[in-house]
Structure 1
Amino acid sequence: METAMPFNKRSLEHFPVQLFAIVMGLSGFAIVFAKAYHLLDFSYWLYATILFIDTVVFLAIFTAYMLKLLHYTDAVKKEFYHPIKSSFMAAISISFLLLSIAYYDFAPTLSILLWYIGAPLQLAFTLIVIRYWIHNELKVVHSNPAWFIPIVGNVLVPIIGVEAAPVYVSLFFFSLGMFFWIVLFTITMNRIIFHHPLAQKLVPTFFIFIAPPAVGFVSYLRITNGSIDMFAMFLYFIALFTLLLLLFMMRMYDTKVFYISWWAYAFPLAAITIATLMMQMIFHNTFTYLASMSLIALTTLVVGFVAFKTIQAYRAKSICISEEE
């Protein structure tokens, strides 16, 4: 008989790795308010409260997934070698890296420790996922924007990496992320334009297109000590155009049926918001200020709405169930 316990045996076996996207979204949200605190005089307690909630959620999800790994190893292996879910494995290492960034102002020592866990994990997941792509006969329809997740993680590494390790380590991860961003963007656009459209539950992953150039912009500024050159502006404006394009296509987003993939909206929106706050820090003009405030409002609304729908789905026991059910 099934109980209301959140992680009973049945639910634990079907605990999806995609839930780490919640940590990605909340961590990005916390970093937004850390930047807003420094640059726009937002309340420090907003940042601290969001960071606390993010940490609790991360510990709950990470603990549950480690228990799944211990008790249902085959179920984890099945996700690890799934053409779509395998990309979300890197969300684990990305969660460590984003928490590292989020904690940098609050607890620098903890931040560096989290980075030293996240960076090697990120490299390992990238190698494993790319090997999986090469050694398996995947179909065009398997490609989707979620494939960017293992790549985006590499671009995150330099943000704290410039403080934690020699600069060539950051350059290595940045180069890896930027190169495979171009490769995967080409593959994914070919799939979207010339083949069947994405399944409805994967439509929110379109927003992941924003993340590589937006995070790349922030990472590049960290590596170059704030250099705003043509390459930096290229990255920012590609991210900004991608956001505008996706907002222009709002009608394709179905808000009737909730999927965990809705959290794909959160982190990319946070990434472009952080990038815009960095532009505000550099240029201090009306456009960057208004853009920053607008994006903070948009990100807050989206994160709040998706969090509310997630809580509703949890209470309705529609999370952590077999996909066949």
Structure 2
Amino acid sequence: MTGRNESCGADQMPMSYLTCLLYTLEGWTGVEHLDEYLSYLAYLKWLFAPLLVAFLLPAIILFLLYVSSFILHIYKLRAPLKEVYTNDFWDGAMLTVTTMWSVHGRIWNGYELHGLEKIPDGPALFVFYHGATPVDFFYFVCAVLAKKKKYIHVVADHFVNLLPGFKIILDVFRTVPGSQEECTKALKNGHALAIAPGGVREALFSNESYTVLWGNRKGFAQVAINAKVPIIPLFTQNVRENIRTLGGFKLFRWMYEKTRLPLVPLYGNLPVKLRTYVGDPIPYDPNVTAAELAEKAKNALQCLIEKHQKIPGNVFRALMERFETQKKED
């Protein structure tokens, strides 16, 4: 049976199966030159394929999070053997997970950490600008753990607890609830703690202008005062060019304000250069109010942004920075 010997009718010339099918569809639909319309659709496929990929790439972060969860569950199955370990039972699991994230950050984003020497050995409160996802903070935690053997706890938004399979990650990596009491307790116990005062709102609705959306939040500053610890600002260059959101559409902003859930599409996860900069610590001062300290922290973060980020952010420029050979100065 050969397609080129088939005919669509007794009076028709032999033609291929595809041509015959087009001819038949034209007869059924009454549309002439159907092949031209199909060629147009094929053109649209090539046009929209990159857009589809752009919206699918952020799923890599979610995939790695579930891989992390799977690794931790495997370690949990070894709980009966816990007593044979001289170190904390979860040390091996944390090392495996942090190694995975460090390798991903190095390969995909050429991740660098600048200002490691500014991180004290004792407790401190880190405040950072929240990108569309906190992937840069994952890289930062892993780098500090690897280079200083110091783990930094983090305050997570309440909706993270609703994600299936994430509880073990939150438990093992000691995520702290957002109450002032719990945050103060963690710091007084000698731990380092990180918080993004802008939270989900900053993550979803800031843009390539890197606007700091903290509103009137000063609870984190009160925590630092209560625990008598310094505040250290953090900023990651090009974090907005890594993953972006459609938060500029009013519909998504309205949905968030009504549900308090991050129902905003993400796109990107491009291999742009990411560099995290640690700012100078703001020391504890008993004579400074929470409002004044919050303003100081916001200004310090804004200074980091102005110093290390070209505004507005540009995806092409951020991609080209991956090929820079000269070492970036702090």
Q: Check whether TM > 0.5.
A: no
TM-score, with length taken from structure 1: 0.28
- Whichever structure has more strand as a proportion of its residues is 2
- Whichever structure has more helix as a proportion of its residues is 1
TM-score, with length taken from structure 2: 0.27
Structure whose CA Rg is larger: 2
